[in-house]
Amino acid sequence: MMAGKISGLHHVTAIASDPQRNLDFYAGLLGLRFVKRTVNFDDPGTYHFYFGDNRGTPGTILTFFPWPRARRGSRGPGQIESTAFAISPDSIGYWRDRLQQQHVVAEKISRFGEEGIRFVDPDGLLLELVGSRTLAAVEPWPEGPIPLEHAVRGFHSVSAALEGYENTARLITETFGYRLVDESGNRFRFASTDENAPGRIIDLLCTPDTGFGTVAAGSVHHIAFRAKDDAEQLAWRNRLVELGYNVTPVVDRTYFHSIYFREPGGVLFEIATEPPGFTLDEKVDELGTHLRIPSWMEAGRPQIEKILPPIQLPA
């Protein structure tokens, strides 16, 4: 099988510190659905949180490793600078007011004909809400705190900070099938050709004059692109290896399968399969309500539950 084109992001994974504060911000304030409460498979004494739309649709998933006493990272080349969610262009005022009421300082942004706001989460992670004329067919959380017309509608884009952009641009155009759709100053916007897909945009941002960032709390750890299934993922793996990338073997993340490699600018990329998805072990109406751990860890559940800090779902 030949690798086709990438249609967009699968998820973005970032690092946080306090788990409850993270949960309150993303589920309580931003109204993302808490779709999976699990543990870091490499460190089961710590959580792995997944937020997304009502069903955990790929392209809406923001995940966190909340490490209670993590120090704060810094932004710089080789990192994702900001993560943007799509909202309706008519919802910008709603969000400005909501953030202000919750004492979150937001500033206006205007880019390539789209308006939005940007702000940071409690750990310093830079986020944007961008008014987008084409909203992806994702399913906002009906039980959430945000009126459905204003709800977050999956990812709009990510901005990757790089020293230079050409090699990364070559990877995402020649290999992933993205196109350069706009540019301004040091920002180059690429988009997949799948026009209604969530998270189809990536901006490459040349910031050669700042020091390299450090990945810790408040930073994005990696971004994942979508593959339709295992066969397509394997085709991607073969293609990337042919191009000279060091690519990990396929890793089973229970809800998807993953391969990882570092793109030429230093950002950690992943390609994750859409199946089996977050409804593998919980029904849609139960997503996020129980601690789910992989079957091979179940024997250790009592101890894991004792170590994990208690959390409460926002009312």
Query: Taking a C-beta distance cutoff of 8 angstroms, is the pair 308, 46 a contact?
Result: yes
User: Minimum distance from CB of 99 to Zn ion (Å)?
Assistant: 27
Which residues are within 8 A (CB) of 13 and not within 5 positions of it... i.e. 6 or more apart?
A: 62, 63, 64, 65, 220, 221, 222, 223, 224
Residue 103 beta carbon to Zn ion: minimum distance, rounded to whole angstroms: 31
Cα 188 to the chain's mean position, in Å?
Answer: 20
User: Which residues have a Cβ under 8 Å from the Cβ of 161 and sit 6 or more positions away?
Assistant: 75, 76, 77, 78, 79, 80, 81, 205, 207, 210, 213
**Residue placing its CB nearer to Zn ion in the complex, 211 or 275:** 275
- Residue nearer to Zn ion on the CB measure, 153 or 222: 222
Nearest distance, CB of residue 181 and Zn ion, angstroms: 25
Q: Hey, what amino acid is at 5? A: K
User: Which residue, 95 or 256, has its beta carbon nearer to Zn ion?
Assistant: 256
* Residue ranges binding Zn ion (CB under 5 A): 13, 224, 270
Least Å distance between CB 251 and Zn ion? 9
Least separation, in Å, of the C-beta of 257 and Zn ion? 11
Q: How far apart are CA 239 and CA 212, in angstroms?
A: 29
CB 38 within 8 A of CB 291: yes
